[in-house]
Amino acid sequence: IEDNSLLRRGEECLHLKYGLDVSINAGNTLYFLPSVELFNHKYLDDIKKLRIHEIMMKTYIQAHFGQTVDIYWSKYLTPENLKKWMNDSLEEKILQMYDYKTAAGAKGLAEVSAVIAEVNDEIKQTCIDYARAFAVAFQIIDDIHNFSDSPRWTKVCGEDLSNGKLTYVIARAIKLLENQKSQRLIEILCSKELRKNDDIIREGIELVRNSGAIEECKEKAKKMSLDENERFSEIVPSCEPKIMLNMLCLKMLDLAYDT
C-alpha cells in the first residue's frame, strides 16, 4: 500500500483485490496472531515467553522505523535534498535503513532461536549478525531485480524508480554515471510528472542498467553475505541444519538476473 504497488509475488496486491480496509486490518492482525501462539505455547516457560515477546516488540519497532526513513526520503525527494543527502553518506544510510526495515524480521528470528536454544551470548550475536548480513544483501538483490524484465520477477519492472524510491542500486547508479547522465537520472527520480511517463521510466531503467551499478551491487551483496557466513561458520558448530541454511541463503542471493 505504501509503495503504491500493483503486484506482489506475481499476483495483484491485496488492497486492490479486497480494498484498503480489509488489507490494512488483515495486515495488522498478523502482528497480533503470533502472540496468541506464544502465550499458549506448552513448551516455553514464562521467562522465555516474556523474552520472546520483548524481541517481537523490538522487531516491530525497528521495521517501522526503517520504513519511516524510507517514506521520508520518498516524501521529500527533490534534486536539492538529494544532493544534500548524497553529500552526507547516503549509501551507508540506505544500508542502515535496510538493517532496520528488511533485516529486523530475520534478526528477530535469529534472536528468538537463540533464546529457545539457550546458547551463549557469542553464538547469539553471531546468529543475529549472520541474519542481518543475509537480509541486507537480499534487499540489495531485490533492488537489482527491480530492473529486470524477467517473467520470474514478480513485481513491476522499474517500480522503485517510478515511485521515487531511493534504493542502494539507484544511489550507486547516480554516483557511477557520468555527470550529464547522472543529472538526467536524478531529474527522472525526483519528478512526479516525469515518473508518470512510461517512456521516461524506460529511459531511467536503461540509465541504471548501463551505469554498472547492477553488477557492482550484486558483488557487494554476495561479499557481504559470504564474509559474515565465514564468521558464522567459525563460531556455530557444523550440523545438517546449518549446512541447509547456508545453502538456502546462498541460493536466494544467487537468483538469476535477466533483463
Taking 70 as the threshold, does the pLDDT of residue 256 lie above it? no
| 253 or 49, greater pLDDT | 49
Residue 8: strand pairing partners: 11
Binned at pLDDT 50, 70 and 90, residue 149 comes out as confident
Q: How far apart are CA 136 and CA 15, in angstroms?
A: 27
H, E, C per residue of 124-192: HHHHHHHHHHHHHHHHHHHHHHCCCCCCCCCCCCCHHHHCCCCCHHHHHHHHHCCHHHHHHHHHHHHCC
Residues 6+ apart with CB under 8 A from 11: 154
Q: What is the mean pLDDT of residues 186-193?
A: 96
Average pLDDT estimate for 41-66: 96
- pLDDT given at position 258: 57
Could you tell me the sign of the dihedral formed by the alpha carbons of 251, 242, 34, 134, in that order?
Answer: negative
Taking the model in full, what pTM does it have? 0.88
CB 161, CB 205: distance < 8 Å: yes
- Among 44-48, 96-100, 161-165, 247-251, the range scoring the smallest mean pLDDT is 247-251
Amino acid in position 142: D
Instruction: List pLDDT tens digits, range 59-99.
Output: 999 999 999 999 999 999 999 999 999 999 999 999 999 99
Which of 37-51, 69-83, 110-124, 230-244 shows the lowest per-residue confidence on average (mean pLDDT)? 230-244
Q: How far apart are CA 58 and CA 38, in angstroms?
A: 16
Q: With bands split at pLDDT 50, 70 and 90, how would you rate the model's confidence at 255?
A: low
Q: Where residue 247 falls among pLDDT bands split at 50, 70, 90?
A: confident
pLDDT at 88 (0 to 100): 92
- What letter does residue 89 receive in the DSSP assignment? T
Helix pair 213-235, 198-210: axis angle to 10 deg: 60
Cell of 173: 547508479
- Collect all residues with Cβ–Cβ distance below 8 Å to 51 and sequence separation of at least 6: 115
Distances in Å between the Cα of 128 and the Cα atoms of 100, 134, 234, 237, 243 are 13, 10, 15, 16, 17
H-run or E-run covering 238? none
Q: Where residue 171 falls among pLDDT bands split at 50, 70, 90?
A: very high
- What is the predicted pLDDT for the residue at 218? 92
3-state SS, residue 13: coil
Is the predicted pLDDT of residue 137 greater than 90, yes or no?
A: yes
- Res 228 pLDDT > 70: yes
